[in-house]
Amino acid sequence: MTYPVEIAPSILAADFSCLGDGIRAVERGGAAMLHVDVMDGHFVPNISIGVPVVISLRKATRLPLDVHLMIQNPELFIQAFAEAGADMISIHEEATPHLDRALSMIREHGCQPGAVINPATPVSALSEIFGKVDHILVMSVNPGFGGQKFIPGALGKIRELKRIRESYNHSFRIEVDGGVGPENVAELVRAGAEILVAGTSIFHTPDAAEAVRSMKQTADGALAQKV
């Protein structure tokens, strides 16, 4: 199975006082979706944005909204984020004792379900739900903050997920989040990553549109070499 590689700018790194401008820039650059990081100050040691921001984003862009819930017991908020306009909702394996039920809830609410694993969580923790998700998000930093250093162990997990998908005929896409930038995009794509989340390396540059464009070009080049 081959999917195109898509760039998902993480708005966590954008300037919230002019978020609309940041969104238009990444749209111009060819972003495939917006990655929206929701943090509760409990599952991760930081607080970010919530449902009202997703409602505003829904009005401001046609790009799919890829909502990454870094919150404890995400099942309590799935309905609210679905109604706010999320297209994809990703929940952490570590954040709920009821991962299977929570993933079903996401689909029942009309969104694409995804499961996320922290750097210390093995791929095998997801073995019972591979057939239930549209994407699997491999964290390549410990979640909670933008601008952290990429943890290379993520590459092995991406390769392992790709092998599992092929061996068992699953269809989930493979997403990676944290410390992604021009220096590791090609290697990530060669490993099997198909959705590249990037915050700092897009929004903390002079030209966010160009940063997306060039990352996509590098990714497409790596994909062409691979297939």
Least distance between Zn ion and beta carbon 63 (Å)? 15
**Whole-angstrom distance, CA of residue 50 vs CA of residue 130:** 28
- Tell me: does residue 66 bind Zn ion (CB under 5 A): no
Catalytic, 66? Answer: no
Q: Quick one: what does residue 9 bind among ligand DX5, Zn ion, none, with the CB cut-off 5 to 8 Å set by partner type? A: none
Catalytic, 87? Answer: no
Catalytic residue among 21, 40, 177, 207: 177
Q: Quick one: what does residue 6 bind among ligand DX5, Zn ion, none, with the CB cut-off 5 to 8 Å set by partner type? A: none
How far from each other are the two terminal CA atoms of the chain, in whole angstroms?
11
Interface residues for ligand DX5 in 197-226 (CB under 6 A)?
Answer: 197-201
- Tell me: does residue 92 bind Zn ion (CB under 5 A): no
The radius of gyration of the chain's CA atoms, rounded to the nearest angstrom, is: 16
Q: Kindly state the tokens that stand for 206.
A: 């002079």
Q: How many residues does the chain have?
A: 227
**Whole-angstrom distance, CA of residue 175 vs CA of residue 87:** 15
- Tell me: does residue 135 bind ligand DX5 (CB under 6 A): no
**Whole-angstrom distance, CA of residue 169 vs CA of residue 171:** 7
Question: Count of CB atoms within 10 A of residue 47's CB?
Answer: 12
Q: Quick one: what does residue 199 bind among Zn ion, ligand DX5, none, with the CB cut-off 5 to 8 Å set by partner type? A: ligand DX5
Total interface residues for ligand DX5 by CB under 6 A: 22
- Cβ 111 vs Cβ 82: under 8 Å: yes
Catalytic machinery residues: 37, 177
Residues that bind ligand DX5 (CB under 6 A): 10, 12-13, 35, 37, 68, 141, 143-148, 177-180, 197-201
